[in-house]
Homo-oligomer: A and B are copies of this chain.
Amino acid sequence: MAEENKVILHGLGVSPYSKRVELALKVKGIPYEFVEEDLENKSELLLKYNPVHKKIPVLVHNGKPVVESSVILEYIDETWQNGPRFLPHDPYKRAQVRFWASFFQQQVFEAMNTATRTVGETQEKAMKEFYEKLKIFEEGMKSLFPNGTPFDGKNVGLLDIFLCSCFGPYKAQEEALGIKVIDPEKNPLIFSWLNALLEVPAIKELLPPHEKLVELLLFFKNLALKSSAV
């Protein structure tokens, strides 16, 4: 029976997309096996399970693959319905959470992503955009949760998972980039929200190792420096 319900995640320890799924499994208390993929030399299984995109993360449940982090998150929430849910019950609130999760992904996260892979003026532009988007996101959270922080101290939801997968290791991002990423003065709500989440044991233990992440981000930075010098 245990074998039948086996959950395997093909991922990458430092990838925010992969981290998102790990957080979801951990928060729900679902035991899983983690297969660390080498993106330079992807496993046969990964290529078999995700022939269309050939990308991580892939969740394999009962031998059947589920692909794409946002699809996997909904699958986990709908399959393991006991305990806290990632989305609110009310359809209107669900729509609002989905809207802001999509905004976070497509705007905030993408701008940060660009900033970590560029230098000079392009990076400055990306960071400016990042701060603007983050401000809009903070204002959005204020109106969505008028009575306080988005995290109620107990139930970890979709927006919490998105925030942690991207900015859980913000100190490593700040060290590697030499730039303030989450500024308590500019974004007090996000700063305190994120730090409250980082106290949750299931989240804390999943943070990628600080030094390893700094090293990876410095690798991207050097790559960007080299290509800008060409």
Interface residues of A (CB under 8 A from B): 52, 61, 64, 66-68, 70-72, 74-75, 78-79, 91-92, 94-95, 98-99, 102-103, 136, 140
Known: A71-B98, A74-B98. 20 other contacts (CB 8 A): A52-B103, A52-B136, A52-B140, A66-B92, A66-B95, A66-B99, A68-B98, A68-B99, A68-B102, A71-B95, A71-B99, A72-B95, A74-B95, A75-B91, A75-B92, A75-B94, A78-B91, A78-B94, A79-B91, A79-B92
With beta carbons under 8 angstroms apart, the residue of B66, B72, B78, B102 that contacts A71 is B102
CA distance A99 to B94 in the complex (A): 19
CA distance A198 to B105 in the complex (A): 35
* Chain B residues with CB below 8 A from A94, complex form: 74-75, 78
CA distance A94 to B95 in the complex (A): 18
CA distance A66 to B91 in the complex (A): 10
- What are 6 A-B interface contacts by the 8 Å CB criterion? A52-B103, A61-B92, A66-B95, A68-B98, A71-B99, A75-B92
* Chain B residues with CB below 8 A from A95, complex form: 66, 71-72, 74-75
**A64–chain B nearest beta-carbon distance, Å:** 6
Q: What residue in chain B is nearest A81 (Cβ atoms)?
A: B91
CA distance A79 to B75 in the complex (A): 20
User: Which 3 residue pairs spanning A and B have beta carbons closest together?
Assistant: A78-B91, A75-B95, A79-B91
Whether B68 lies near A92 (C-beta < 8 A) is no
Q: What residue in chain B is nearest A62 (Cβ atoms)?
A: B92
Q: What residue in chain B is nearest A140 (Cβ atoms)?
A: B52
Q: What residue in chain B is nearest A92 (Cβ atoms)?
A: B64
| Given A75-B94, A78-B91, A91-B75: A99 and B67 interface contact (C-beta under 8 Å) | yes
CA distance A72 to B61 in the complex (A): 29
**A130–chain B nearest beta-carbon distance, Å:** 16
Most buried by B among A70, A94, A98: A98
Q: What residue in chain B is nearest A80 (Cβ atoms)?
A: B91
CA distance A8 to B136 in the complex (A): 26
Q: What residue in chain B is nearest A137 (Cβ atoms)?
A: B52
